[in-house]
Amino acid sequence: MASSPLDLRLLSSFLAVVEEGHFGRAAARLFLSPPAVTAHVRRLETELGTLLLYRSPAVTPTPAGERLAGHARALLAASAAALDDMADMAEPAHDTGRTRPLRIGIMGHGSAELTPASINAYRRARPEVPLEISQLDFTEHSSALVEDRVDVAFVRPTPDDERVTADALTTEQRIVAVPAHSALADAHATGVTVADVAELPFVRVPGHTPRPFTDYLYFDEAGSRRGPDFAVTPQEVLTSVIMGRAAGSGLKSFARYYAWPGAVFVPVVDAPWESSYLAVRADDDNPEVRIFRALAVALARELGPTIR
């Protein structure tokens, strides 16, 4: 396996062959000769030490080729975003000797496995840019961006703020978190309905928590009861749950990231599925933000947005 950076020209030729299913059509699309495209793919296979394409009876990607195609789409999307952002730039700003970090905010576990995948893809694409990662609580659904404390944020649901724009990354079934001794815990395999959870003592959140998040947390106000405990993080929710003082809600992947003894995660079968989002400031012209956004969206498209 090569340790040097992958050549974007080679990736572009390889991806064109994958998408066209034919070396000649890929060459025409790229305005290259078929021998040049063939040479690019062979060089890539040599550098990676593995066969990427089956040549007969049809041109199709091998398992290694399928995996590389996903990375290629993400890297090429990031490159295109960078070029687009830099195209109309005037003379570069004076070098201060320091590169501004990209500040990433994550609410809970973000967009499940797509969160670390996006961060790692950005690290590989832009190794010279430092990252600052911070945990966001429920009240920072949009304020962390609006107040310029982070540059990108993994949140749910989509912020209702014209100063923020967001891309849906994953879509999942809803769940409730209840104590193991709860009457609803036995339904963890079959699920419950929104009506079943309407009277659960859900955790309270501070009054300045954005309305979209409280509607999400309480299933659009279906849960009219509130327990005595306040919570602004998943950990605080689960602490109240295992103590038998409250219930919480989340996405199905919540159970994979917060498997606490004493807490049971029950699907809410008739609740609308909910998405997690990558949110950014609507007027942010930072090219690094656009590169990160392009990578995350490309990975979401490649990996599939729906988590079951």
Which has more pLDDT, 97 or 286? 286
Q: Give 176's pLDDT tier (boundaries 50, 70, 90).
A: very high
User: According to CATH, what is the number of the domain 102-169+275-307?
Assistant: 3.40.190.10
What residues have CB less than 8 Å from 162, skipping those under 6 apart?
A: 282
* Cα angle: 39, vertex 41, 47; to 5 degrees: 100
Q: Where are the domains of the chain?
A: 8-86, 102-169+275-307, 174-272
Task: Decide if 8-86 and 174-272 have a common fold.
Answer: no
- C-alpha–C-alpha distance, residues 114 and 297, integer Å: 10
Report the topology of domain 174-272.
Answer: D-Maltodextrin-Binding Protein; domain 2 (3.40.190)
In the chain the beta strands, taken as DSSP E runs, fall at 53-54, 60-61, 102-107, 131-136, 152-155, 164-172, 174-179, 202-204, 226-230, 248-251, 263-267, 274-281, 306-307
Determine the residue type at 293.
R
- C-alpha–C-alpha distance, residues 176 and 249, integer Å: 4
Quick check: helix, strand or coil at residue 212?
Answer: helix
Per-residue model confidence (pLDDT) at position 95: 47
- C-alpha–C-alpha distance, residues 98 and 100, integer Å: 6
For the chain, how many helices (H) and strands (E)? 11, 13
- C-alpha–C-alpha distance, residues 250 and 234, integer Å: 9
Per-residue model confidence (pLDDT) at position 27: 84
User: According to CATH, what is the number of the domain 8-86?
Assistant: 1.10.10.10
- C-alpha–C-alpha distance, residues 291 and 128, integer Å: 13
Q: Give 85's pLDDT tier (boundaries 50, 70, 90).
A: low
Q: What is the pLDDT of residues 241-255, one digit of tens each?
A: 999 999 999 999 999
pTM of the model: 0.73
- C-alpha–C-alpha distance, residues 185 and 180, integer Å: 6
Pseudo-torsion of CA 78, 82, 84, 86, nearest 10°?
180
Q: Give 34's pLDDT tier (boundaries 50, 70, 90).
A: confident
Here the tokens at position 244 are 């038998």
Which has more pLDDT, 1 or 66? 66
- C-alpha–C-alpha distance, residues 115 and 7, integer Å: 25
